[in-house]
Every structure is written in C-alpha cells, then in structure tokens.
Amino acid sequence: MVKKLAAALTAAVMAVALAACGGGSDSGSGGGGGSNDTLTLGAIVPATTQSAADSRWANESPYMQAVYDTLVHLSPTGDPEPWLATEWSLNKDKTVMTLKLRTDVKFTDGTPFNADAAAQNILRFRDGTSPNASNLANVKDAKAVDDATLEITLSQPDPALLVYLGQNGGLMESPKQFGAADEKTNPVGSGPYVLDSGKTVVGSKYVYTKNADYWAPESVYYDNLVISVLADKNTQVNAIRGGQVTGLNVIDNTTLKEIEGAGFGIFPHELDWTGLMLLDRAGSLNEALGKVEVRQAINYAIDSNAMLQAVAQGHGTVTGQIFPETSPGYDPALDDAYPFDPEKAKELLADAGYPDGFELDMPLLQTGSTTSFDLVKQYLGDVGITVNYTQLDVNTAINDIIAAKYAATFFQLQMDPTAWQEANFVLTEAATFNVFHQPDKTVADLVATIQTGSEDEADTATAELNKYVVDQAWFNPWYRVEGNFAANANTDVTQQSDNAYPYLWNIKPKA
C-alpha cells in the first residue's frame, strides 16, 4: 500500500517521471547464456535493502531480479508463467493453492531450494517490513507438503496471488541467510547474478557477475550487470551521449529528442491514467457531485485530447476508463464515452438542478507547473462550475486527499494488472482511493464475482464493472501517461505492463 501511495504522489507531482539513468561501460551485443558483455542499467533509486523479505519493487525490481528468483514469472502482459513453480491449482473454494516446484535449483550458498524454503520466504515477506507486505495479507499459512509441493492457505480467495508471487512477494532467499548480520547488504538467492560487494558502492553503483551455476542459463544474456543510480535528467542525457549506459527509464519526456539523436531507441509503455477523481459521489461535502448528471457534465466539459497535448506534450493515449488495455474489462468504445461537448455539459447541469453551475473546492499540489490546474479551472468555468483551489504541500497532499477533505482532485494513478487489485485500490467500500468509503451494491456484487467466480464469470464481471464506473462517471480520466525506456542501438527491450521498470530478462541484445 505504501508503494502505491508513494507512486501515486510521485506521479501526481511529476507528470512524466518513471525512472533514471546509469554509468559504466557497454560493449554491445551478445547472445543468451553465452555472452561476454556487460549490461549497464540506470536506476532512479538505490536498493533500499537486499533482503527479500523487506524488499521493494517497481524501480527497485532490477536489484531483486538480479539475485533472486520468483516462484512464477510474469509475462510482459502480466500473465503468470511457470518458473520455480512449474504448475499450480486451487481447491474448489479457492482458499488453498498447491504449487509444484522445481527440484534442480540451488541457492548460491549451495542450499537446495525446496518447498520448505519457499514457505518460509512467503511467511517472512508477509510479516516483514516491505511496503508491499500487505499483498500477502490473505495468506493464512504456507507449508511444505513434500520437497516439491508447496501449499498456501488463504483466509479468503485472492485472484491476484499469482501476480504477487511473480513480484517481490515471491522472491526466494536462502534460508541460511535469514537473520544474518549482513542479510540487508549481502543477498543470497538462486538468481542469474551474484552481487560483487567489493566493486559495489552502496547507494551509487551495484556490480554483479553471472551465476555460473544458474539453472536457467538460456534466460541470461550478459555475463555482467551494473546498475548505477543517477536520477537527474541532464545526467541521463550525458551518460547516454558518453556511451556509459545500455538502458534507462527516461525521467523527463522533454529529453526524448536528445536521446534519440544520440542513437538510442525508445520503448514506451503506459502504466498510469491521469485526470480528475470525483471522490464525493454521495454529495456529503459537495451536494452537486452526488448527482450522476453533474459528474457526467464534468466529463463532457474537459477536452481530454487538449489536456494530453498541453500537459504531456502528446506523450500518452486519450482514455475514458481506468482499466488498462490488458484487462479483460477494457472496452475501446469507453475511451470516447464522453467526447468534448460543453453544451452537453451545460444541459446535464441544468437537468441536475444547477443551471447556474456551482462551486467546487479542490486541492492544488505545490509543484513547478500549474498547467493541469489552470486548464481544469478554465474548462469547468466555461460551463458554470467555479473551481476554488487550496494549495497543498506535496508532503501532506496524500494524507489530505485520502482523509476525504476534498470532493474532487486532479491526480495520476496506477492501472493495476488485475481487476481484483484495481477494484480494491479505488472502487470497493474499503479501497484507499474510495476516500469517502461509499458503499455501492453493484460494485460489491461484481467484485465478489471477480473474487470467487470462474475465469469467464470474472472476465464478464470485470467488463460490467468497468462500464458501470464509466456510466456513473466516478472519474474523469483524460489520458494514459506514456513512460519511456531508452536503450542503445544494440539492445532490445520489452516493457512490462504492470511495472515501472522492464523485467531483467526482457532486456536483451538484438539478434
């Protein structure tokens, strides 16, 4: 949860930021399993810890993937695929997951990987200090049935469990390293690389050498890995021009022309949507927002394409929904559910009993640019809605927003890979960003089907949920924000639909 809030705040105050840059050397191309090259990556942050139980994900995922395996791999579209776990199944009520594990894997200290090690790692993560520990909150117990069989018991069905086991919730650390004095600085996993502590400068540069005994050598494309922490846009450009980096997340899209001019390829993806969250849907703070016609009027009043061009310089895709394209609930038709139509907005306001408009108090986040806020004020003012801003400091903005102090707010928020995650983040009664915690029977019933129904039933419910939220105008999405990863001409990258940073095995030399 902390990660999500932090990511949301970062996104709200930095309209394009997703990453960083690096330094080191890169010698060009190579092949899987047999290359002599060095992959040099840039990162926006250093590794908070090297301990699997306390690890972070998103922009810290490369540090973890270098040394640790996860129980499952996630495809670029976020689908779970076999890895340390080769197959899995659920019992009838979806509260017990049984996973079959590989028996040919060892940690780099020689300890065999088995179901007991997996069970201990899962419970340690659930009970650890990772900001994502709550991802495994539904795990009641994990135990070994035998060396190759892991059983996870849930307190309630969790459709996102396999996704979590492909992220930091599924990282596997050697049990011999549990509680060691150097656990937070000396990772011991079964992953493709081993941290070279002698060459590593903590907080600045992390150096790795290939694990010679890695069980999946075909997935390793470089003999060495360097991750350098350089988070300034100018330093990024300088590192690229100097040939000091293989690839990095572009922290500022205004540098794309310079980066492309240096011969780097650009690999875009869209993780977040940006627009207005119409939070007070019961009208407890602002009576007008309790009427669906008013919320629909706000959607018609703002020109999403103009916002995309003015705020993000066109780096994104206009949308009218908060579910990602990879979701079974995504419907292209909903992206144009509310075309720019000020006259329609005025008609709806009049139908709702506000022919002369109304006043709407919203927060203004204290950042360098106020373009988004200025345009919202202008667009809504043109149809009779007077926006009054209260300026907030970025350090207190999240707390004020989730404390239900404002009826609506501009925001940039993640699109989760599963409908279950998305619903429990922004839609259900207990969701963090349903800040007034307003119940809705339609939402509750559809989410219950997503949780306990068959795959087809869940997919149908997801589509119905998405359409319902759009029809009820719970949000006013403008566009999906484009983030970009840059890589040199010898490198190919496949972005991850559910992560800020490409997964390590999807960065490889061009054939």
Residue 389 lies in a domain: yes
Query: How many residues are there in the chain?
Result: 511
Which domain, by its residues, includes 279? 270-482
Token pair belonging to 170: 């599924």
Q: Which of 487, 503, 433, 490 is nearest to 12 (CA)?
A: 433
Rounded Cα–Cα distance for residues 382 and 463 (Å): 33
Band (pLDDT 50/70/90 cuts) for residue 423 is very high
Residue 179 lies in a domain: yes
Identify whether residues 79 and 216 lie together within a single domain.
Answer: yes
Residue 13 lies in a domain: no
Identify whether residues 315 and 445 lie together within a single domain.
Answer: yes
Q: What is the pTM of this model?
A: 0.89
C-alpha dihedral sign at 414, 325, 462, 470: positive
Residue 308 CB coordination number (10 Å)? 22
Q: What pLDDT, on a 0 to 100 scale, did the predictor assign at position 394?
A: 77
112: domain CATH number is 3.40.190.10
Q: Cβ contacts of residue 194 below 8 Å, gap of 6+?
A: 67, 108, 208, 209, 210, 211
State CA 18 to chain mean position distance. 10
Residue 30 has pLDDT above 70, yes or no: no
420: domain CATH number is 3.10.105.10
**What is the count of structural domains for the chain?**
2
Identify whether residues 286 and 212 lie together within a single domain.
Answer: no
Across 156-162, average pLDDT = 97
Identify whether residues 260 and 282 lie together within a single domain.
Answer: no
**Are 384 and 356 within 8 A, CB to CB?**
yes
Residue 5 lies in a domain: no
- CA of 221: how far to CAs of 39, 197, 213, 216, 217, in Å? 9, 22, 15, 11, 8
Residue 3 lies in a domain: no
Q: What pLDDT, on a 0 to 100 scale, did the predictor assign at position 36?
A: 53
Identify whether residues 185 and 286 lie together within a single domain.
Answer: no
Average predicted confidence (pLDDT) for the chain: 92
With vertex at residue 337, the alpha carbon angle to CA 333 and CA 341, rounded to the nearest 5 degrees, is 140
Tens of pLDDT, residue by residue over 336-371, are 999 999 999 999 999 999 999 999 999 998 766 899
Residue 242 CB coordination number (10 Å)? 10
Identify whether residues 298 and 327 lie together within a single domain.
Answer: yes
Residue 51 has pLDDT above 60, yes or no: yes
Q: What pLDDT, on a 0 to 100 scale, did the predictor assign at position 279?
A: 98
Residue 8 lies in a domain: no
Higher pLDDT, 24 or 181: 181
Q: What pLDDT, on a 0 to 100 scale, did the predictor assign at position 365?
A: 85
Higher pLDDT, 241 or 15: 241
Tens of pLDDT, residue by residue over 433-479, are 999 999 999 999 999 999 999 999 999 999 999 999 999 999 999 99
